[in-house]
Amino acid sequence: MKRLLAIVLVLFIGLGAAVAQDGGFEPLMAPGDLAVTAGIGWGFLYGAIDVSGGVELMLGKFVIGDTLPLTYGVAAKASYYSYQYYDYWTYSYLGAGVFGTLHLGLKDADLPDGLGFMSNTDWYVGLGAGFYSYTDNYYTSDSGFKIGLRSVGGVSYFFTPNFAINFEGGYYGYGGGGLIGILFKL
């Protein structure tokens, strides 16, 4: 998962540098924005359904090479999933964490023909610390609580300045998952 996040980071910085205008462009997630997210997804543990939510506050912006604006913020996210296989195995998981995030939005970017829809996208990665708690009764009853690193990465597609659909993948301490959700900027 760490390799995937590094690839996403390199891709969105490279894409932003390739399409940046001489005067730069404005981000979709700007300093001062507060976003609330909710989503459902597919956990990597035997197809468990994942439910998640979070908040994010954009704190600031910096520009690379006078053309590539990146915004940064802090986020808190939580996820829960549960899996039951007939009557003899139940596994449930609850995880939460706080993240430092980095965003690249392509609003106002001078994109090539056929890629205009990309101007509504905001690409992001996040790294932070969190916990997860689980119960597992496969052979014997087992439960645990652990603290560790967490990571997320994804893209949001804005339909309006304050509403987006997002696709996110993350590593939650024990396993990972992907989700589709909605984002509201308040």
| Closest residue by Cα to residue 184 from 12, 29, 25, 26 | 29
Residue 166's pLDDT is what?
Answer: 92
Residue 6's pLDDT is what?
Answer: 52
Residue 17's pLDDT is what?
Answer: 47
Query: Quick check: 103 pLDDT over 70?
Result: yes
Residue scoring higher pLDDT (139 or 142): 142
**Average pLDDT taken over every residue of the chain:** 79
Domains delineated in the chain: 2-185 (2.40.160.20)
- pLDDT tens per residue, range 2-47: 554 455 445 555 554 444 444 445 678 989 999 999 998 876 556 6
Percent of the chain with pLDDT over 70: 73
Query: Quick check: 130 pLDDT over 60?
Result: yes
